[in-house]
Each structure stands twice: as C-alpha cells, then as structure tokens.
C-alpha cells in the first residue's frame, strides 16, 4: 500500500519520508518537498517560537511562495500548495496576536524613516545656507566593504569600470548607514561628511612554501564620517505661527507703513 506523492504522483518509497506543509493533507515525497521545504520548515518552527518576528516569517514566506510558483508543479498542484502555504501563514499570525500590528507599525516606521532619510541634508561643510544648527549630537559613521576576486576583476577589460562601480556601491551603502545613524540620534542632517577608504591587499607568502606568493581577493572598505546635527530652517517658526504682525513689522522696517499704522494694525488684530 504505497502512498503516492501529491505533486509527482510517484510512490513514496519506504525510505522516503512523507512531508507536508503543516496542517495540509497533501503528502509529498522528499524530492518534491525539497523545492520549498527548507523555508517551510523554518516557518513551521516559527509558529511556536516566541521570539519569532513577522518580518522574518514573511521573508521566508515570500521565498517559499516564489519557489512553489516557479517549481515544475502541475497548475492544480501548485494552487493547492499555495493554499497550504497560505494556511500556514494564517496559523502563524493567529498564534502571534501581536504580529499584524507589528507589521503595520513597522511599515509606518519604515516609511517615516525613509521619508526622513530622503529629506536629510548632508554636507562636507559645517553649515547649511538658510538653516540654523540647533543641536549637535556627535560623531557618527557608516561603512561598507566589498570583496573583489582578482580573476573576475582584473582579467576583465573593464577594470576601471568595475572599480568605479564597486566604489559607488559601497559609498552609497556607507552614506545610507551614516544617515540612519543620524536618524537614530533624532537628527535631520549631517555636517562635515567625508570618506575614508581602505584597500586591503593581502599579498603574502604561502605558509607552505615561502617562495610562493599568494594573492587573496582585494577588499575595499569605505567609511563615511560626519557629525549628526539638528537643523531648523531660518524663518520656519515665523511661517508656522503665521503671525501677520511680522509682515507689518517688515513693512514698518522698510518704511512702507508708519508706526501709527502699525499700532493700528496691532489693535485690529489683537
């Protein structure tokens, strides 16, 4: 009485283990299950784990879902496997009542941070025209590194292009980390930004034969440094409070209106 695999319809052998997505009646052979199984195993464990996080769970869910969608399953098998996966997700979320809120709050916080990061001003100088620094929160840095295999990199015809692309990539990441560090300090700008580069070129003698030189991959690291600050746009307070008297004061200063007229306006307004 051999049981058949739901996906490939082959007999599940004596030594083959029967596997299914948790709660599902669809038994699979090990080979079919292995197409998405590792992620599902992790997800199944996360259902009962207290310290599991919904974002981590959803990362695995997305990969497992893609694996099922792209796997060579019959369309009806694929649909059923996707349903099973959906049920596993529902089970996990009902086992962790706080997860939905955590995902929503996390998304809102992320959006807020992205907003703040895209608005964040950075400069290699020490001030911004039209802004006043109201708080200094200290020295921060962000860094990134990249490993460049010698063969892929230096045997190619595009050494300069590849090098530039590598620098752009790590500099962008270092700047992103720098901005995040400023954001975490409650700051909205970074001043005095500069970059330090380190190229590690581990060309050394072989441990086995001192006359042989060993060439390891190049490692290029970049650190972005700066000072996190809070800046306020000059005149921002005026415009947010929208005190019309300020306008009249400006007119007075310019000699457009007289003091008497100004006082008359003041009485009118207050």
Q: Which of 119, 236, 269 is nearest to 183 (CA)?
A: 119
The nearer residue to Zn ion, 28 or 189, going by C-beta atoms, is 28
Our CB check for Zn ion shows the closer of 41 and 162 to be: 41
Binding span for Zn ion by CB under 5 A among 4-12, 203-211, 222-230, 251-259: 4-12
149 CB contacts (<8 Å, ≥6 apart)?
A: 217
19 - beta bridge partners?
28
Our CB check for Zn ion shows the closer of 29 and 220 to be 29
Torsion of CA 245, 248, 253, 256, to 10 degrees: -170
Neighbouring CB atoms inside 10 A of 120's CB total: 19
How many CA atoms does the CB half-sphere of 39 hold within 13 Å? 18
State the DSSP code for 203.
E
**Closest separation between CB of residue 85 and Zn ion, Å?**
17
Dist. CA 215–CA 151, nearest whole Å:
10
Which of 8/185 has CB closer to Zn ion?
Answer: 8
Contact status: 77 vs Zn ion (CB under 5 A): no
Cβ-based neighbour number of residue 220 at 10 Å? 19
Question: Among residues 8, 58, 116, 122, which is the contact residue for Zn ion, using CB under 5 A?
Answer: 8
Number of H helices, E strands in the chain: 10, 6
Subset of residues 122 to 161 that bind Zn ion, contact rule: CB under 5 A:
none
CB of 12 to Zn ion, least distance (A): 7
Query: Interface with Zn ion includes 32 (CB under 5 A)?
Result: yes
In whole angstroms, what is the distance from residue 231 CA to residue 136 CA? 9
Q: Rounded to the nearest whole angstrom, what is the least distance from the CB of residue 175 to Zn ion in the complex?
A: 48
Stretch that binds Zn ion, among 30-38, 147-155, 201-209, 238-246 (CB under 5 A): 30-38
Which residue reads 């916080």 in tokens?
A: 109
User: By CB under 5 A, is residue 187 in contact with Zn ion?
Assistant: no
Residue 189 in contact with Zn ion, rule: CB under 5 A: no
191 binding Zn ion? (CB under 5 A): no
Contact between 7 and Zn ion by CB under 5 A: the answer reads yes
Residue 21 binds Zn ion (CB under 5 A): no
User: How many residues interact with Zn ion (rule CB under 5 A)?
Assistant: 5
Interacting residues with Zn ion (CB under 5 A): 5, 7-8, 29, 32
């Amino acid at each position: 009485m051999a049981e058949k695999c739901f996906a490939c319809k082959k007999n599940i052998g004596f030594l083959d283990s029967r596997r299914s997505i948790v709660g599902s009646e669809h038994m699979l052979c090990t080979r079919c299950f292995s197409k998405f199984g590792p992620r599902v195993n992790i997800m199944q464990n996360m259902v009962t784990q207290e310290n599991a996080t919904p974002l981590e769970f959803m990362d695995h869910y997305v990969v497992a879902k893609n694996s099922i969608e792209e796997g060579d399953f019959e369309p009806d098998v694929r649909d059923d496997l996707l349903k099973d996966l959906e049920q596993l997700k529902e089970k996990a979320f009902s086992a962790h009542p706080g997860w939905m809120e955590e995902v929503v709050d996390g998304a809102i916080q992320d959006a807020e941070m992205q907003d703040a990061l895209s608005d964040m001003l950075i400069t290699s100088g020490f001030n911004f025209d039209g802004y006043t620094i109201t708080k200094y929160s200290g020295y921060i840095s962000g860094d990134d590194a990249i490993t460049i295999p010698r063969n892929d990199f230096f045997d190619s015809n595009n050494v300069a292009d590849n090098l530039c692309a590598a620098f752009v990539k790590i500099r962008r990441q270092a700047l992103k980390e720098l901005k995040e560090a400023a954001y975490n300090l409650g700051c909205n700008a970074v001043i005095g930004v500069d970059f330090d580069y380190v190229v590690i070129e581990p060309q050394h003698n072989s441990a086995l034969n001192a006359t042989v030189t060993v060439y390891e991959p190049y490692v290029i690291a970049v650190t972005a440094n700066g000072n996190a600050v809070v800046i306020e746009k000059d005149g921002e307070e005026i415009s947010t409070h929208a005190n019309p008297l300020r306008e009249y004061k400006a007119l007075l200063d310019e000699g457009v209106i007289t003091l008497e007229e100004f006082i008359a306006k003041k009485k009118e307004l207050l």
